[in-house]
Structure 1
Amino acid sequence: MKRVALLAFHDALATSISLPMELLTAANSVSRLHTRTPLLDITIVGLDPPPIRVSGGMEIMPNAELADDDAYDLIIIPSRWRHPHRGAPTRPEIKAWLIHHEQRGADICAVGNASYFLAEAGLLNKRVATTHWHYFDDFATRYPQVVLHRDYLITQADNLFCTGSVNSAADLVIHLIDRYWGASIARRVAQQFSPESRRPFSRNSYRVDRSDLHRDETIALVQNWLARHLNEPFNIKDLARQSGLSERSFHRRFRQVTGLAPLQYMQKMRIELARDLLQNSNLSIEEIGRQCGYTDSSYFCRLFKQHCTSSPGEYRRAVRHKLFEVNEQK
């Protein structure tokens, strides 16, 4: 079981607390359905005296305070409704607490302008980060040692994550659920929270260890070829030959830089393309299967359901219903 701390302070953006909490609670619910075992324990840690007044006039009653002897595995810092440099981020005891947990190896996620907390603690010096777009210039001026990435909604530097918005924080939480407890639970949680609006962590994040940013030029050329030929037959021997490597060396180097076997990598790319086409095109399911390299429609449907826990038709109906529901009103 993992221990999760959601920080709360005056003028925090309410949704930047509630949405991550709902996603994590959903992961617990999914686990209980199958194993009756909870995956995590969530604590709301108050940084100000209770009750804590957050955006929208709501009040939160935390169930814990900062304490050095508490050991959390995941810490989520919400965004602030007003200027993020005021108040909590500058307090020495909060800086020390964050430094303590970072050194312990806890994953720390800053939502929107909560990146100011990490920067004030010195944890982002010479590390990549992002923040809410409104504060880009102020953040860059105030923290010149931070490598600010304005073009990414999510950044990862070791165990530190920054997001540019609440929606991006939701994408990040889904990614962490996947990393902690597996793709099956992550998919089930995502389906409960508008799967059509979720964007894979790998697509909108900058991280030091990104699998598509590496120094193996040979494998990068193969990845580029695969991206351009998703609808063509996939033969590992031919790919190895094309790369100039033995099949064994090709497998080893490909997995080393992507984290996946070549076949798994190709399937992942094809399923992502299928999801995009199901949402944004009027192609038939059979044609989408062919576009993704699957001539056997039945096999394509089985594989899609294995990856997404719903059939292509069910997925399309779910996302199209929300995209076009205004047109359905009579």
Structure 2
Amino acid sequence: MKHVSILVPGGHTSLTNIEGTYQILAEVNETQKAMGKAPLFTIQLVGLSREARQRNGLFTIAPDLLIEEVKRTDLIIIPALFGDQTSALTRNQALIPWIVEQYKAGAEVASFCIGAFFLAATGLLNGKQCATHWRLANEFRAMFPEVNLVDDKIMTEEDGIYTSGGAYSYLNLLVYLIEKHAGRDVAILIAKAFMIDIDRNSQSPFIIFQGQKAHEDESVKKAQEYIEANFQDRITVDQLADLLALGRRSLERRFKSATANTVVEYIQRVKIEAAKKDLEISRKNVNEVMFDVGYSDSKSFRTVFKKITGLSPIEYRNKYNKEALFSDN
């Protein structure tokens, strides 16, 4: 059987990640038994202390084992650690060498949501793709620039290391791991039992673009503010460069460094965010929304919209604007 170590870090941790993983993997074992097969997983909670108090003492978790008692494991699950990430890393520093040692010995490692911060602190993600909650994407990039964060993806896999995107997307990664280790048939049964969308692979439709102003470049901030105030117009890089009395190349370099987007990407994201809000709350058709955010070419608008959200404008409208959906029927 494969030994699964669900970590129980100190501090404020996602109880949902811990209990949900335990429950779902235990159900895999029950499914295996029902099919006349041996259980697949030995599942244990592993921590730094015999008791881990959570939610200011509202809940207490008693790990099955301490890390020094686990000589060999096959899969390590890192739940989301909430609050200040630097403090969470410091508090749970002793877990890092153990995770690295187990990985080098052949264990796979999976992080859920912002547990990616802790996984990245091990150095195992350097040069690899990684997903995390889209809300903390900028903070993650600032802390771990050597990691290739793909904030639109719901999960990543590379060299036995797995990450999942925001919140309950950990369920999708769990089903993926079950499919890998138990087969597609078991994964489908588990997905049906827990009503998990087995083939969802993007968190783009859920991303709310809020601008990226956690930087100190005032010229770039002025450019961002101009874009956000005039998104209905056609804005060019040269126009912004002239407005700020900067060279085009200098503006593009500074903008990318400060926001992790090119100027054109930022303009597109601001326009598409405005379009998303219109599609969510208004009864305008797609062409009306397109014109309102400054696009005149429908093919271009639809291409950019799908690239950013993962859905076509009509699909997005039908998913999030129930009034518009019902009015079409």
- Please classify the TM superposition score into its range, dividing by the shorter chain length: 0.5 to 0.7
The DSSP-based 3-state class of the residue aligned with 2:85 is coil
Residue type matched to 2:74 in 1? Answer: D
Task: Check the 8 A contact 1:125/1:146 in 2, yes or no.
Answer: yes
> What are the superposed Cα offsets for residues 190-223 of structure 1, whole Å, 9 maximum, x if unpaired?
111014xx1416x439xxxxxxxxxxxxxxxxxx
Give the structure 2 partner of residue 137 of structure 1. 138
Which segments of 5 or more consecutive residues in structure 2 lack a partner in the other structure? 204-329
Which aligned pairs between 1:194-209 and structure 2 lie closer than 5 A? 194-195=195-196, 198-200=197-199, 203-204=201-202
Task: Check the 8 A contact 2:13/2:80 in 1, yes or no.
Answer: yes
RMSD over aligned CA atoms reads: 2.4
Give me the whole-angstrom Cα distance separating, in 1, the residues matched to 2:90 and 2:126. 16
Q: CA distance change for structure 1 residues 91 and 8 in 2, over 3 Å: closer, same or farther?
A: closer
C-alpha deviation, 1:42, in angstroms:
0.5
Runs (4+) of structure 1 moved beyond 2 Å?
Answer: 54-57, 87-93
Which aligned pairs between 1:162-241 and structure 2 lie closer than 5 A? 162-195=163-196, 198-200=197-199, 203-204=201-202
Residue type matched to 1:6 in 2? Answer: I
Give the structure 1 partner of residue 162 of structure 2. 161
Length-normalised TM-score, structure 2: 0.57
Which segments of 5 or more consecutive residues in structure 1 lack a partner in the other structure? 206-330
Give me the whole-angstrom Cα distance separating, in 1, the residues matched to 2:48 and 2:95. 8
> What are the superposed Cα offsets for residues 22-53 of structure 1, whole Å, 9 maximum, x if unpaired?
11011001011122621111110013451432
Percent identical residues:
26
Give me the whole-angstrom Cα distance separating, in 2, the residues matched to 1:74 and 1:124. 16
Length-normalised TM-score, structure 1: 0.57
Give me the whole-angstrom Cα distance separating, in 2, the residues matched to 1:65 and 1:90. 16
Give me the whole-angstrom Cα distance separating, in 2, the residues matched to 1:134 and 1:83. 14
> What are the superposed Cα offsets for residues 54-108 of structure 1, whole Å, 9 maximum, x if unpaired?
5892211111011275211111111023223323466443111111122122121
Task: Check the 8 A contact 2:126/2:147 in 1, yes or no.
Answer: yes
Give me the whole-angstrom Cα distance separating, in 1, the residues matched to 2:171 and 2:68. 27
Task: Check the 8 A contact 2:81/2:88 in 1, yes or no.
Answer: no
Q: CA distance change for structure 1 residues 91 and 14 in 2, over 3 Å: closer, same or farther?
A: closer
Q: CA distance change for structure 1 residues 122 and 137 in 2, over 3 Å: closer, same or farther?
A: same
C-alpha deviation, 1:162, in angstroms:
1.0
Q: CA distance change for structure 1 residues 124 and 36 in 2, over 3 Å: closer, same or farther?
A: closer
Give me the whole-angstrom Cα distance separating, in 2, the residues matched to 1:55 and 1:31. 38
Give the structure 1 partner of residue 2 of structure 2. 2
Q: CA distance change for structure 1 residues 191 and 55 in 2, over 3 Å: closer, same or farther?
A: farther
The DSSP-based 3-state class of the residue aligned with 2:77 is strand
